[in-house]
Amino acid sequence: MSASAIPVIVLGGTGYVAGELLRLIAGHPQLQLAGILSDSQPGAAVAASFGHLASAYPDAVFSSIEQIEALVASLPVSAIFSAAPHGASAALIDRLLTVAEAAGTQPRVVDISADFRYSTDAAYAAVYKHAHGAPARLPQFSCAVPEHLAQSPTPHVAHPGCFATAILLASVPLLKLGLVSPQLFVSGVTGSTGSGRKPTDGTHHPQRHSDMYSYNALAHRHTPEVTACALAASGVAADFNFVPHSGPFARGIHVTVQAQLLQPVSQAELLQAFAGFYAHSPFVHVAAQAPRIKDVAGSNYARLSVAANGRSIAVMSVIDNLNKGAAGGAMQWMNRLLGLPETSGLTAPAAGWT
**Amino acid (1-letter code) at residue 172:** V
Does one domain contain both 174 and 129? Answer: no
Name the residue among 175, 139, 174 with its Cα closest to residue 155: 139
Average pLDDT over residues 223-244: 98
1 pLDDT band, cuts 50/70/90, is low
* 3-class SS string, 154-176: CCEEECCCHHHHHHHHHHHHHHH
Q: Read off the pLDDT of each residue in 273-283 and give the average, rounded to a whole number.
A: 98
Whether residue 173 sits in one domain with residue 130:
no
Rounded Cα distance, 350 and 323, in Å: 10
Q: Return the higher-pLDDT residue of 347 and 13.
A: 347
Based on the structure, what is the number of domains in the chain?
Answer: 2
Q: What angle do CA 118, 120, 123 make, to 5 degrees?
A: 70
- Whether residue 133 is found in the same domain as residue 166: no
Q: Is 12 left (phi over 0), alpha (psi -120 to 50) or beta?
A: left
Q: Higher confidence at residue 202 or residue 246? A: 246
Distance CA 240, CA 204 (A): 29
Q: What is the CATH number of the domain that holds 287?
A: 3.30.360.10
Query: Considering the chain, what is the average pLDDT of its residues?
Result: 95
End of a domain among 143, 172, 202? 143
Predicted local confidence at residue 8, as pLDDT: 98
Q: Is 301 part of any domain?
A: yes
Q: What is the CATH number of the domain that holds 109?
A: 3.40.50.720
DSSP states of 46-85? HHHH-GGGTTT-SS-B-B-HHHHHHHHHH-SEEEEEE-PP
Q: Are residues 89 and 175 in the same domain?
A: no
Q: For residue 192, what pLDDT is reported?
A: 86
348 inside domain: no
- Answer yes or no: do 173 and 306 share one domain: yes
Q: What is the pLDDT of residues 163-218, one digit of tens each?
A: 999 999 999 999 999 999 999 999 999 998 876 667 777 667 778 889 999 999 99
Instruction: Please tell me whether residues 182 and 120 are part of one structural domain.
Output: no
pLDDT exceeds cutoff 90 at 13: no
Q: What is the pLDDT of residue 2?
A: 65
Shared domain check, 309 and 167 = yes
**Per-residue pLDDT tens over the stretch 22-51:** 999 999 999 999 999 998 889 999 999 999
Residue 134 within any structural domain of the chain: yes
User: CA–CA distance from 208 to each of 80, 165, 200, 244, 305 (Å)?
Assistant: 34, 23, 10, 15, 28
229 is catalytic: no
Share of the chain above pLDDT 70, in %: 97
Residue 9 scores a pLDDT above 80 = yes
Q: Are residues 118 and 172 located together in one domain of the fold?
A: no
Q: Which of 79, 162, 180, 326 is catalytic?
A: 162
Whether residues 117 and 214 share a domain: the answer is no
Q: For residue 207, what pLDDT is reported?
A: 81
Question: 79 with 118, same domain?
Answer: yes
**Domain identity same for 30 and 83:** yes
Parent domain of 68? 6-143
pLDDT tens string 82-135 = 999 999 999 999 999 999 999 999 999 999 999 999 999 999 999 999 999 999
Beta strands in the chain (DSSP E): 6-11, 31-36, 77-82, 106-111, 141-143, 156-158, 183-190, 213-214, 239-246, 253-260, 284-286, 302-309, 312-319
Q: Quick one: what percent of the chain has pLDDT higher than 90? A: 90
